[in-house]
């Protein structure tokens, strides 16, 4: 600001001050300054509180990671890295090997993924391409959201009461030992549970395909299937992949439903119908019973592995989605 | 590429369309089967007696789930009290700071937290609260559930506030309102239904969570309202009684499942109504 203008302003405001300089007005003005100071202070305190709340989220994640690492140190030290592929889990004899649980987790999750992919992609194509509007797609959309809303313990209970006897009948027909509970049953339950994640993400990706691309293909004489196969699916490939990845993350960490139908044995599963255990289910079953420090920390190391794997999967999935939506 | 007849290509197209229809609607079958089965198995078990009594020991028929209902409600209320203020504030922070290093890491942490398996949160809550305090408690269960609630509340608050026009905030600031009053008197009230729907959704999500409670609230066969003592909750009761070999206990678990299902579905439908209303207003 120009010096002369400033001077001008000061002189102009001078008479005002003179008028206001009665004793009551001075205390009022003081109160006003005090109030604005207080407001400024509240404002900065408020802004700082917001930042702290943002920090809380970061601290939480770091705290979880740190707690898991610190608590699993005893097992990392005494069992070493080969813990992950040792094949025997026998806490009574102090033998710890995570391979049965790693195998159980991978088998049940990937089987569930393979079963669920055709269904979730079909829902995505149906809602995104064939029928984006109307009462029938609305019904389907709500039904899929409902699947995601049902608590996993109810899935597990239903699986135990309905699905397991059905699997047992199937096993009798196939000539395998009819146990019912096992990796196959848990994969079936898991596949139902993870359908909504891939389906809803896939749907939003498919609706984002630019219509001029599809119209160009129709204009060249392509049928609906040819448009889907050579325009829609290639365009949304990365988005669909991200959705499937995120549902894999869900399947890996799912605990209760799996614990209830997988059979809970710590032996290496011989086939997909055999009972087994996943990383999450062995923690759920044995954590409160673990009596030795190494036993506890071996279980926590499983939790650490689970945490790291789901973190990596989620970050990759989110990165793909971000890139897709920003393009 | 080989040139096929138009008839063949159209047939293939229709065939594929039929396949997509069948596969898409096949997913409704297990959903209806679950709903139907739970309602059929649970509805005969529920009566007034069931709601106000505690479970009887094995061998005696009757008994109810009053302890689990009370425990669930208490644990969820405390979890909500912990998570909602932190979640909304963090959401406001993210909406106000779209760019910046801290906001980026905060957003990433929220995404990570959303994907963390619930059993891992149970373990962590065990080491943060159960071990230092010397025993299982309802409060530690609340904290574990609050951690599960947080990312949902944060994300829904952020997404809602991002959609609000900047002119709203600018108008309030131009009138000389301090920042915190702009947030509390203008931004939050306008986005209230969006934030509320996120809160409801997160409560619906944690109502059915069992895994974090296994090592924290632990379960309790008696009626207890002390947050510092082990506490029963609906999903825990379902898990423990469903995996028991006794038929009486299975009956209790079916009744509890139906109540849990109705509770969760009610919250979801309520949320849906709120969001629909809100979208109309926007």
Give the mean model confidence (pLDDT) for residues B258-267.
Answer: 93
Query: Is A135:A207 a contact under the CB 8 Å cutoff?
Result: no
Residue B184 contacts A, CB cutoff 8 Å: no
Whether A192 and A300 share a structural domain = yes
Shared-domain flag, residues A222 and A288? yes
Cα–Cα distance for residue pair A103/A98, rounded to 1 Å: 9
In a 3-state reduction of DSSP, which class is residue A57?
helix
The CATH number assigned to the domain holding A170 equals: 1.10.3720.10
Q: Is the pLDDT of residue B282 over 60?
A: no
Mutual orientation of helices A237-253 and A99-125 as an angle, nearest 10°?
A: 140
Model confidence pLDDT, tens digit, residues A175-205: 888 888 999 999 999 999 999 999 999 998 9
CB contact under 8 A, B180 and A228: no
Within B164-246, residue ranges assigned H as helices are 166-174, 179-182, 188-190, 192-207, 211-214, 234-242
Q: How many percent of chain B have pLDDT more than 70?
A: 97
Check CB contact under 8 Å for A284 and B128: no
Is pLDDT of A10 > 80? no
CB contact under 8 A, B119 and A54: no
The pLDDT, as a whole number, for residue A297 is 92
Residue B268: its H or E element: helix B247-281
Residue-wise pLDDT tens digits, A102-119: 999 999 999 999 999 999
| Chain B positions in Cβ-Cβ contact with residue A319 (cut-off 8 Å) | none
pLDDT at A9 (0 to 100): 47
Work out the angle at residue A20's Cα, subtended by the Cα atoms of residues A18 and A22, and round it to the nearest 5 degrees. 100
Average model confidence (pLDDT) for chain A? 88
Provide the residue count of chain B: 282
Residue B68: how many other CB atoms lie within 10 Å: 29
Rama region for B55: left / alpha / beta (φ>0; ψ in -120 to 50; rest): beta
For residue B62, what is the enclosing H or E element?
A: none
Decide: B215 and B267 in contact? Cβ < 8 Å.
no
Residue ranges making up the domain that contains A248 = 81-326
| Tens digits of residue pLDDT in B184-226 | 889 988 888 889 989 999 999 999 999 999 999 888 888 888 8
What is the per-residue pLDDT for B264? 93
Using a CB-CB cut-off of 8 Å, the residues of chain A touching B2 are: none
The 10s digit of each residue's pLDDT in A220-259 is: 989 999 999 999 999 999 889 999 999 999 999 999 999 9
Question: How many CB atoms within 10 Å of residue A84?
Answer: 15
B211 with A303: Cβ contact below 8 A: no
* Chain CA centroid to CA B2, Å: 53
Q: Using a CB-CB distance cutoff of 8 angstroms, which residues of chain A are in contact with residue B108? A: 315
> Among all residues of chain B, which has the CA nearest to that of A71?
B127
Kindly list the residues from chain A whose CB atom is less than 8 angstroms away from the CB atom of residue B12.
223, 225
Same domain (yes/no): A7, A91: no
pLDDT of B74-94, one tens digit each?
999 999 999 999 999 999 999
Residue A252 in contact with residue A109, Cβ under 8 Å? Answer: yes
In the prediction, which pLDDT does A20 show?
Answer: 52
Instruction: Look at B37 and A162 and tell me if their CB atoms are within 8 Å.
Output: yes
Give burial (CB, 10 Å; 0-12/13-18/19+) of A114.
Answer: exposed
Instruction: Give the rounded percent of residues in chain A with a pLDDT score beyond 70.
Output: 93
Cβ <8 Å between A151 and B180: no
Q: Is B43 exposed, middle or buried (0-12, 13-18, 19+ CB in 10 A)?
A: exposed
Answer yes or no: do A318 and B111 touch at CB < 8 A: yes
What pLDDT score was predicted for residue A279? 93
- The values of phi and psi at residue B106, to 5°, are -65, -45
Residues A44, A23 within the same domain: yes
**pLDDT attached to residue A21:** 53
Residues A276 and A183 sit within 8 Å (Cβ to Cβ):
yes
Residues A235 and A97 in one domain: yes
Q: Is B195 on the interface with A (CB under 8 A)?
A: no
Angle at B31 between CA B27 and CA B35, to 5 degrees: 165
User: Is B137 near chain A, with CB under 8 Å?
Assistant: no
Final residue in a domain of this structure, among A50, A76, A102: A76
Give the bridge partners for A263, in sequence order.
Answer: A276
Number of structural domains found in chain A: 2
Claim to verify: residue A223 and residue A187 sit in the same structural domain: yes
CA nearest A159 in B: which residue?
A: B34
With an 8 Å Cβ cutoff, is B271 touching chain A? no
Per-residue CA distances from B87 to A14, A251, B91, B93 (Å)? 50, 26, 6, 10
Closest CB to A125: pick one of B20, B105, B147.
B20
> A57 and B110: CB-CB below 8 Å?
yes
Whether residue A258 contacts residue A186, with contact meaning beta carbons closer than 8 Å, is answered with yes
Minimal CA separation from A65 to chain B, in Å: 9
| Helix segments in A175-278, DSSP class H | 183-207, 211-219, 224-227, 233-235, 237-253, 256-261
Q: Is the pLDDT of residue B3 over 60?
A: yes
Q: What residue segments make up the domains of chain B, in order of their start?
A: 6-43, 48-281
The proportion of chain A whose per-residue pLDDT surpasses 90, expressed as a percent, equals 61
Closest partner residue to B242 (CB to CB) among A226, A255, A260 is A260
Which B residues, 66 through 85, put their C-beta within 8 Å of a C-beta on chain A? Answer: none
Task: Closest CB to A54: pick one of B24, B93, B265.
Answer: B93
Read off the pLDDT of residues A19-56 as tens digits, 9 standing for 90 and up.
555 667 778 888 888 888 888 888 889 999 999 999 99
Over residues B241-256, the mean pLDDT reads 89
Closest CA to B53 of B255, B278, B275: B255
Q: Is the pLDDT of residue B278 over 80?
A: no
Question: Which residue has better confidence, B58 or B71?
Answer: B71
CB–CB of B34 and A154 under 8 A? yes
pLDDT tens digits for range A279-299: 999 999 999 888 888 899 999
A-chain CB neighbours of B268 within 8 Å are 145-146, 149
A209 and A72 part of one domain: no
Q: Which of A76, A105, A139 is the last residue of a domain?
A: A76
Task: State both tokens at B268.
Answer: 């979801």
Q: Which of A76, A96, A128 marks a domain boundary?
A: A76
A305 in the same domain as A237: yes
For A62-76, B148-162, B263-277, which range has the lowest pLDDT when averaged over its residues?
Answer: B263-277
Give CA–CA dist B278/B256, Å, rounded: 33
Contact, A156 vs A262, CB < 8 A? no
Hey, how many other C-beta atoms are within 10 angstroms of the C-beta on A204?
17
CATH superfamily of B48-281: MetI-like (1.10.3720.10)
pTM: 0.89
Contact of A74 with A293, CB cutoff 8 Å:
yes
Alpha carbons A293 and B175: distance in angstroms, whole number: 62
pLDDT at position A126, please?
A: 94
Give the H or E element holding residue A31. Answer: helix A23-79
Q: Which residues pair with B63 in a beta bridge?
A: B55
Nearest to B69 by CA among B201, B215, B204, B223: B223
Cα A312 from Cα A307, distance rounded (Å): 9
Asked if A68 lies within 8 A of B120 by C-beta distance, the reply is yes
Chain A residue closest to B158 (CA)? A54
Closest to A156 measured CA to CA, from A56, A57, A278: A278
User: Are A168 and A184 a contacting pair, CB within 8 Å?
Assistant: no
A142 and A190 belong to one structural domain = yes
In angstroms, the separation between the Cα of residue A142 and the nearest Cα of chain B is 10
Are residues A53 and A122 part of one domain?
no
């Amino acid at each position: 600001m120009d010096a002369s203008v400033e001077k001008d302003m000061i002189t102009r405001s001078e008479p005002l001050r003179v008028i206001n300089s009665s004793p009551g007005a001075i205390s009022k003005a003081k109160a006003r300054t005090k109030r604005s100071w207080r407001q400024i202070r509240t404002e900065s305190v408020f802004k700082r509180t917001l930042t702290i709340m943002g920090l809380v989220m970061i601290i939480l994640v770091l705290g979880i990671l740190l707690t898991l690492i610190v608590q699993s140190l005893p097992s990392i030290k005494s069992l070493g890295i080969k813990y992950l592929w040792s094949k025997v889990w026998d806490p009574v004899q102090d033998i710890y090997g995570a391979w049965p649980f790693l195998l159980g987790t991978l088998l049940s999750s990937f089987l569930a993924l393979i079963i669920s992919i055709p269904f979730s992609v079909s829902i995505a194509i149906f809602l995104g391409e064939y029928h984006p509007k109307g009462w029938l797609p609305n019904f389907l959309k709500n039904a899929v959201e409902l699947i995601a809303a049902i608590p996993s313990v109810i899935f597990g209970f239903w699986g135990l009461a309905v699905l397991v006897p059905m699997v047992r009948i199937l096993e009798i027909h196939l000539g395998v030992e009819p146990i019912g509970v096992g990796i196959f049953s848990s994969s079936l339950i898991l596949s139902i549970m993870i359908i909504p994640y891939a389906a809803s993400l896939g749907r939003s990706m498919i609706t984002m395909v630019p219509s001029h691309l599809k119209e160009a293909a129709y204009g060249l004489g392509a049928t609906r299937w040819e448009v889907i196969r050579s325009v829609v699916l290639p365009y949304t490939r990365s988005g669909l992949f991200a959705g499937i990845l995120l549902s894999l993350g869900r399947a890996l960490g799912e605990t209760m439903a799996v614990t209830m139908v997988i059979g809970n044995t710590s032996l290496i599963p011989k086939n997909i119908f055999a009972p087994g255990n996943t990383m999450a289910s062995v923690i759920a079953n044995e954590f409160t019973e673990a009596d030795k420090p190494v036993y506890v920390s071996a279980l926590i190391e499983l939790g650490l592995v689970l945490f790291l794997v789901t973190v990596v999967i989620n970050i990759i999935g989110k990165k793909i989605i971000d890139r897709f939506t920003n393009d | 590429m080989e040139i096929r007849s138009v008839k063949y290509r159209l047939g293939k197209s229709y065939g594929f369309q039929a396949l997509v229809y069948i596969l898409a609607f096949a997913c409704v079958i297990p959903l209806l089967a679950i709903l139907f089965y739970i309602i059929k198995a649970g509805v005969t078990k529920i009566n007034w007696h069931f709601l106000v009594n505690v479970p009887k020991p094995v061998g005696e028929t009757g008994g109810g789930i009053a302890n689990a209902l009370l425990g669930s409600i208490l644990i969820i209320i405390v979890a909500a009290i912990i998570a909602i203020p932190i979640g909304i504030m963090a959401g406001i922070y993210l909406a106000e700071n779209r760019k910046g290093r801290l906001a980026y890491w905060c957003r990433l942490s929220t995404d990570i937290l959303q994907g963390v398996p619930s059993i891992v949160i149970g373990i962590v809550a065990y080491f943060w609260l159960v071990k230092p305090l010397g025993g299982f408690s309802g409060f530690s269960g609340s904290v574990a559930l609050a951690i599960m609630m947080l990312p949902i509340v944060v994300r829904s608050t952020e997404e809602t506030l991002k959609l609000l026009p900047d002119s709203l905030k600018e108008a309030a600031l131009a009138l000389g309102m301090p920042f915190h009053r702009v947030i509390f008197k203008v931004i939050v009230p306008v986005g209230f239904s969006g934030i509320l729907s996120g809160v409801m959704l997160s409560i619906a999500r944690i109502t059915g969570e069992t895994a974090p409670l296994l090592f924290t609230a632990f379960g309790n066969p008696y009626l207890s309202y002390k947050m510092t003592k082990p506490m029963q909750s609906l999903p825990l009761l379902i898990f423990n009684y469903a995996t028991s070999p006794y038929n009486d206990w299975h009956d209790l678990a079916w009744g509890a499942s139906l109540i849990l299902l109705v509770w969760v579905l009610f919250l979801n439908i309520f949320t849906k109504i709120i969001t629909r209303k809100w979208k109309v207003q926007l």
